[in-house]
Amino acid sequence: MNFMLFLPEFLITGAAFGVLGIDLFLSRERKAYLPWLSLAGLAAVFVVSLSYLWGKDTNLYDGLFLIDNFSLFFKAFFLVLGALVVLVSVDYVKQHLSHPGEYYGILMFSILGMMLMAASGELLTAYISLELLSFSLYVLVSYGRNNPKSNEAGIKYILLGAFASALLLFGISQVFGMLGTTRFDEIAAALSHEPSPMNPALLVGLALIVAGLGFKVAAVPFHMWAPDVYEGAPTPITAYLAVGSKAAAFALILRLFSQAFMPAFDDWQIILVVLAALTMTVGNLVALAQHNIKRMLAYSSVGHVGYLLMGVAALSPVASDGVILHLAGYGVTNLAAFLCVIIFYNATNREDIADFAGLADRSPYLAMALTVSLFSLAGLPFFAGFITKFYLFTAAAEGGLLWLVGLAIVNSVISLYYYLMVIKQMYMEPAVEDGPVKVTLLSGGVLGLLVLGIIVLGIYPGPLVDAIQGATGAILWWGGA
């Protein structure tokens, strides 16, 4: 076995321990080097992954760990995302949190967890990777230890997360009990010999797995933790939760459903359709009533999970492309939106929607960036959100779910309303405080980059779509079958 194939994972583990270790020897003033050190580590892993694993299609441990374009794509995705989260965190951590060493170290462990999730070819490996991610996030969510809300969020997240893990594990054991295997390709082989409709015990296992993963992506009715956790967690971690852990869970879901459960498509499609319809509708409707911008973004992200689940429910090569493309577009956009919230919070210690009143007069460019992000989230052109949504919805319509697409589009209109309420505050209400909001060079630069990303992706998505097609090509085995 060629352990060199594990190089990126080894390296990021080393980098994480490196950051933790070096932290011990740094004086308080020098701790500002830590994020840059983490960034260097992530960049190194990024370069190594792309240069060393490019085009390789193999596996380790007898199919437990897969090295293909799909896992490579998500490795790159998570590393870029991780780097952005580190950049977004710098000012916030300096101002509001203590112990930066552990913060960045644990962040890197969670990235490792995500990378493993996208690469696992077997249920238990997937489960353990998911737990690595979850445990890192439990710590990070409660990192604001002097902030009661953060502590509350941490407890809530741990309890419900553990519950979800139990469901997932129970589902896995049920599937193993019925089919005698946990490897994706063997499950698919076994399922194709199963009669249809499916054996109820197997269906229960499948439903429990869906429920467990549903918790992780905050699908309705398993979304109850999301708003509280999003509100309480340090905002960079909220952004990370909203983008990273969701993307990782969807990477796993895509691989699991296309490589393992595809032969039983007719049995589980309806579960996902119902889940998608509920998730998008509830998420967007409840978002209407929010006053805290982080809670609003939390519910809006629940709504987006609904669209993504719709893509999974219409699973096909185009639909998988659509899901990943939307994940990417939504990721960039959401990071930009949260970064605006972070910048604003760093300067004012406020995060209610009403506090954004008059921002267009105080800081026109910040207001413009937030407007661009919100319009992109609402799916208006010429921003990333439009094309990614259009792609995803087209794919779902092609998959025969035109009515669900109709519901999704109606939901987009609902979402536009609450995004507009923020924009209204910024542009039409008089400012409560005077003077510009202080934007550091770093935050401003990253924000500019993200906004540029939103626009570039919105008008020229071709290259990204090509990369995504390369990635999904690796998991969609039924193309030839």
Q: Give dist(CA 180, CA 140) in Å, integer.
A: 37
Residue that is written with structure tokens 């490897």 in the block: 183
What number of H helices and E strands is found in the chain?
20, 2
The stretch among 210-218, 263-271, 410-418, 435-443 that binds another protein (CB under 8 A) is: 410-418
Q: Give dist(CA 80, CA 355) in Å, integer.
A: 31
- Residue 364: count of CB within 10 angstroms of its CB: 13
Nearer to another protein, 189 or 407 (CB): 407
Tokens of 49: 């992954």
Does 410 bind another protein (CB under 8 A)? Our answer is yes
**Over the range 220-231, which residues count as b (16 or more CB within 10 Å of their CB) and which as e?**
bebbebbbbbbb
| Total chain residues near another protein (CB under 8 A) | 37
Nearer to another protein, 148 or 406 (CB): 406
Nearer to another protein, 59 or 371 (CB): 371
Does 420 bind another protein (CB under 8 A)? Our answer is yes
The neighbouring-strand residues paired with 67 are 58
Q: Give dist(CA 427, CA 133) in Å, integer.
A: 39
Q: Please, what is the minimum distance in Å from the beta carbon of residue 400 to another protein?
A: 8
Question: Of 427, 431, 456, 473, which one interacts with another protein (CB under 8 A)?
Answer: 427
Nearer to another protein, 413 or 442 (CB): 413
- With CA atoms as reference, report the closest residue to 471 among 67, 46, 44, 4: 67
Tokens of 267: 């049995």
Q: Give dist(CA 162, CA 334) in Å, integer.
A: 26
Query: Binding string to another protein for residues 383 to 402, with x set by CB under 8 A, is what?
Result: ---xx--xx-xx--xx---x
Q: Please, what is the minimum distance in Å from the beta carbon of residue 434 to another protein?
A: 14
Residue 49 contacts residue 69 (beta carbons within 8 Å): no
Q: Please, what is the minimum distance in Å from the beta carbon of residue 2 to another protein?
A: 34
Question: Of 17, 61, 417, 477, which one interacts with another protein (CB under 8 A)?
Answer: 417
The stretch among 5-13, 183-191, 327-335, 363-371 that binds another protein (CB under 8 A) is: 363-371
Interface residues with another protein (CB under 8 A)? 318, 321, 360-361, 364, 368, 371, 375, 380-382, 386-387, 390-391, 393-394, 397-398, 402, 405-406, 409-410, 412-413, 416-417, 420, 423-424, 427-428, 461-462, 465, 469
